[in-house]
Amino acid sequence: MKSIDRLNVVPSDGVTDPFDETLPISVHGEDGGNGGLSLTVETITPAIATEYLENNVANNRPISQRHVEALARDMVNDLWAQNGETLKFSPSNVLLDGQQRLWACITANKPFTTAVVRGVRSLDDVDRARPRTLGHALGMRGYKRSTKLSVVLNTVWRWENTNWRTQQVRPTVQEGVRFLEQHDPLLYASLRFGSRIKEIEGSLENSSLVFWRLARTCGQEIAEQIYSRLSKSDWASLNDPLFRYYELALRAKRAPRKPHKLVKMNWLVRAVDASLGGEEHATYHFLRWHSGKELRMIKGESTNQKALHGTGA
């Protein structure tokens, strides 16, 4: 896919005020009862997107590379859907709204179909609606516990598809829904069992992700057994690695300076792995980890993740 900075698109010369009311209005004028607006549905190719961007309004808001890449992923994966959002042009045909979608079209090198409105005189009231989150989208589709499910879905999707330490990367709604449809039972199990130890671990993202990783590596039954022991304080002895993790996690909750959640996730992974290996430990020192180290993996877990090095997000 193309990167944004490969094209040198600048506003056209000679455009001083895209909202100038003396400029010609669309043929669908006030007599038509639509305030001078005209609406069409167009298929936008990368070439057309480039042409429209060449007449972009001066001082438009900065491009978000992350947002453009997310839209482009939907286009490449045939997840793009017409949702009523429009490209907006002024009476002088200056692009006012839609630059991110046009850049996504160029990045994906794939056409998309959208509604286009011309004759817009002001953007003062555009983008004032409250954005819908992935949790809202899941709730509208009838998924139970949609807000917490979206937390689990976001976290697991990032682990499976991106540099997991880059927290800014999130799935689009279409990507999230497709991933959920593919892994519905295990994602709900990750939510259910992750919630059981959240009060110990402190983060639903961490507790659900480690359950997901454990279930994918060793099977869901084993993952449920480990998490049930943690939630019920079912220790084999005081040297049980799960007890040592429990001890350290509670100390961390009481500490004035809380450890980063990436550190705590690696404590949990190490404790789970030690329990599976039948280890015993007289102290919790074996759990220690810092963000300069590789992420800990469960024995047998695939190591093809993209986020095994570097500092924590």
pLDDT at residue 154 greater than cutoff 50: yes
Whether residues 148 and 250 share a domain: the answer is: yes
Q: How many CB atoms lie within 10 A of CB 224?
A: 17
Handedness of CA 203, 205, 206, 208 (dihedral sign): positive
Place of tokens 């909750």: 253
Whether residues 57 and 161 share a domain: the answer is: no
In a domain, 298, yes or no: no
Q: Please provide the average confidence, as pLDDT, over all residues in the chain.
A: 83
CB 73 within 8 A of CB 83: no
In a domain, 251, yes or no: yes
> What CA–CA distance (Å, rounded) separates 37 from 28?
6
Whether residues 165 and 216 share a domain: the answer is: yes
> What CA–CA distance (Å, rounded) separates 273 from 250?
20
Q: How many CB atoms lie within 10 A of CB 132?
A: 11
pLDDT at residue 234 greater than cutoff 50: yes
Whether residues 265 and 139 share a domain: the answer is: yes
Q: pLDDT value at position 309?
A: 42
> What CA–CA distance (Å, rounded) separates 102 from 199?
45
Whether residues 243 and 170 share a domain: the answer is: yes
DSSP conformation class of 202: S
In a domain, 312, yes or no: no
Whether residues 171 and 274 share a domain: the answer is: yes
pLDDT at residue 203 greater than cutoff 80: yes
Whether residues 201 and 101 share a domain: the answer is: no
Whether residues 82 and 170 share a domain: the answer is: no
Q: pLDDT value at position 33?
A: 53
Count of positions (residues) in the chain? 313
> What CA–CA distance (Å, rounded) separates 260 from 291?
9
CB 70 within 8 A of CB 170: yes
pLDDT at residue 71 greater than cutoff 80: yes
Q: pLDDT value at position 292?
A: 81
Structural domain containing residue 72? 4-118
pLDDT at residue 12 greater than cutoff 80: no
CB 279 within 8 A of CB 243: no
In a domain, 294, yes or no: no
pTM of the model as a whole: 0.68
Instruction: Kindly report the three-state secondary structure assignment for every residue of 26-43.
Output: CCCCHHHCCCCCEEEEEE
In a domain, 305, yes or no: no
- Grouping H, G, I as helix, E, B as strand and the rest as coil, residue 157 is helix
pLDDT tens-digit series, residues 33-55: 566 788 899 999 999 999 999 98
Number of domains in the chain: 2
Whether residues 138 and 282 share a domain: the answer is: yes
